[in-house]
Amino acid sequence: MRLAGAAVAGLALDARAAEKLAIQVRSAYSTEETPTPYRHVTGYNNFQEFGPYKEDPAELAHGLRTRPWSVIIDGLVQKPKTLAIEDILKLAPIEDRTYRLRCVEGWSMVVPWLGFPLSALLRQVEPLGNAKFVEFTSVTQPDVMPGVRRHTLPWPYREGLRLDEAMHPLTLACVGLYGEVLPNQNGAPFRLVVPWKYGFKSAKSIVRIRYTETEPLTTWNALQPDEYGFYANVNPDVSHPRWSQARERRLGEFFKRPTQLFNGYADQVGQLYAGLDLRKHY
């Protein structure tokens, strides 16, 4: 039954019936690597709110309610705001940002995301001088999210970044992929994409952004701190406790390839971690 459902989902994904987004800018930050096929990008996902298996989000996320949608931005800020998704979409030109995505589980993709620098959104509220971190909270809709009803994780899902990481020009406020609005299973209508970190750092379906002075307690780091660090920078030299991170499997490829430090973005972000022990701050 699960295989049959996945096949039906695959047919639906290939239909490509989603709303199109007008792309105004081809980003200079894009990789020239070949994007992973659409069916993999939209059919092989971690979105624990919908279940533990990779095909669960594509099968079950159709019920996610993405309108109306608003994002609260508060905490240590001068001007807390609540912005509707329609207002967020007007903050900056939509860019085509083709990024590598590396999962902590050892697989990877290349995804043609659509969005704009997260900094354009974060600057709307004028952070206070003592704000050092940003916490992201994902939506919970228990009636359509089986994982939330099963309490597989402490909900809502929370992630966090240092403020300088969040403001970095590579960090993307993502609203689409492959020329379309974000499919529900990929974190509609608004998600985070941080390409030099493992995928679990890129929170999906965000409803709140909060500035804090201290490091926020994030979901996976709180649950299993020995396996999921707060920084979670892609690093082939720092193994997961249960497997090596030295190599990865790109979806659609047979052979594994070497993992790159910071997922290949070391030249752009390496200075953020100058002086840090990357084995300790994993």
281 lies in some domain: no
Domain with 95, as residue range(s), is 2-273
Burial of 206 (0-12, 13-18, 19+ CB in 10 A): buried
Give pLDDT tens digits for 101-139.
999 999 999 999 999 999 999 999 999 999 999 999 999
pLDDT-derived band at 5, boundaries 50, 70, 90: very low
Q: What is the model's pLDDT at position 17?
A: 55
List the CATH number of the domain containing 221. Answer: 3.90.420.10
pLDDT reading at 3 higher than 70: no
Distance (Å, whole) CA 140 – CA 206: 10
Distance (Å, whole) CA 246 – CA 257: 9
279 lies in some domain: no
pLDDT-derived band at 185, boundaries 50, 70, 90: very high
CB-based contact 229:241 (threshold 8 Å): no
What radius of gyration do the chain's Cα atoms show?
18
Give pLDDT tens digits for 22-77.
776 889 999 999 999 999 999 999 999 999 999 999 999 999 999 999 999 999 99
Number of domains in the chain: 1
pLDDT reading at 141 higher than 90: yes
Q: Whole-model pTM above 0.95?
A: no
282 lies in some domain: no
278 lies in some domain: no
pLDDT reading at 234 higher than 60: yes
pLDDT-derived band at 1, boundaries 50, 70, 90: very low
- 122's enclosing H/E stretch is helix 118-122
